[in-house]
Amino acid sequence: MTLYFKTAFKPFFEKWKGQKKNREIKGPLIEFMREHFPGLIESLPPGQAQFEFIELFKLLVFSHRHNKNDSYLQDPMISFAVVREPMYKYSKQAQERFFDHPTFAFLFLWFGQNPEALAFAESKNKENPDPRYPARMA
């Protein structure tokens, strides 16, 4: 799921990198959300709810950059471990910490219902040489 969102967000990020002088990463994140989740950001109450969704989505999209010193990743709202542990140090507790955040639960459900996202996951599963891997991931 994180690879899907990272890959889908990449064109927005690349565009931002080309013109990032004194711009926040928030703009491209909102642009991505408006395209992929039409009406969602506008339906959230202004203020804390929108801020939290954007910040948690940012951590998900940039989870691979957890140890970089990017200015837009300073002072994360929660630890990157909440996003990364279900991927790299899976445990039931790591899964529960991840799903304790409604934003992550929503994104996971959206991913699991989106045909494009599922096709992406299936293509990635087929890349694994272990014939049991796709069934285990499903």
Contact 115, 123 (CB under 8 A): no
Q: What is the tens place of the pLDDT at every residue in 29-83?
A: 999 999 999 999 999 988 889 999 999 999 999 999 888 888 888 889 899 999 9
Contact 137, 125 (CB under 8 A): yes
Q: How many Å apart are CA 99 and CA 126, to the nearest integer?
A: 27
Q: What is the tens place of the pLDDT at every residue in 11-37?
A: 999 989 888 666 789 999 999 999 999
Q: Which has more pLDDT, 121 or 106? A: 106
Count: domains in the chain: 1
Contact 16, 25 (CB under 8 A): yes
Q: How many Å apart are CA 50 and CA 128, to the nearest integer?
A: 37
- Which residue range(s) make up the domain with 123? 2-137
pTM value is: 0.85
Q: How many Å apart are CA 52 and CA 100, to the nearest integer?
A: 13
Q: How many Å apart are CA 23 and CA 27, to the nearest integer?
A: 8
Contact 86, 77 (CB under 8 A): no
Q: How many Å apart are CA 46 and CA 73, to the nearest integer?
A: 22
